[in-house]
Amino acid sequence: MKEHFISILEDLNRLYKGELINYSIKDYVEKIQRNATIITFQEEKIICGFIAFYNNDYRNKIAYLTMLAVNPLSQGKGIGKMLLKYSIDRLKYLEFKKYNLEVLKTNDKAIQLYTKNGFKILQETETHYKMTLVL
């Protein structure tokens, strides 16, 4: 499973000229496997996409989407939308209040997906938007 995550993220990082993850992808994958909830989408036992989010702030009930990644060859099939919706439904079930994320300003597809699903821009930096969804 770890190898599939790394492969998808390496492909996406190449598309975004290294801006998606600017440190060791292997270390990042190990971190999310240890600390995040990960939901995968598979076709023929191959992971085509995954969503990783932190839902361990039980006091404030704020979750953080750390990664929504779909293999470039599998994009355009609604996989990202399905994974995002599943994570939102799960967080609502767990009674979380907010779902936060950061997205590259150059990632138009992701921004459009998040906006269509109710996320609003809270802040912007030179390279990213910080977005939130009230659950």
Is the distance from CB of 98 to CB of 118 less than 8 angstroms? no
Distance CA 113, CA 4 (A): 23
pLDDT number for residue 2: 86
Is the distance from CB of 5 to CB of 70 less than 8 angstroms? no
Q: Which domains does the chain have, with CATH numbers?
A: 35-134 (3.40.630.30)
| Type of residue found at 103 | V
Indicate whether 18 pLDDT > 90: no
Is the distance from CB of 89 to CB of 32 less than 8 angstroms? no
Indicate whether 44 pLDDT > 90: no
Distance CA 119, CA 135 (A): 10
* Residue 72 DSSP label: G
pLDDT number for residue 97: 98
Distance CA 94, CA 33 (A): 20
Confidence of residue 30 (pLDDT cuts 50, 70, 90): very high
90-106 residue pLDDT tens: 999 999 999 999 999 99
Distance CA 89, CA 72 (A): 25
Cα angle: 26, vertex 30, 35; to 5 degrees = 150
Handedness of CA 112, 116, 118, 120 (dihedral sign): positive
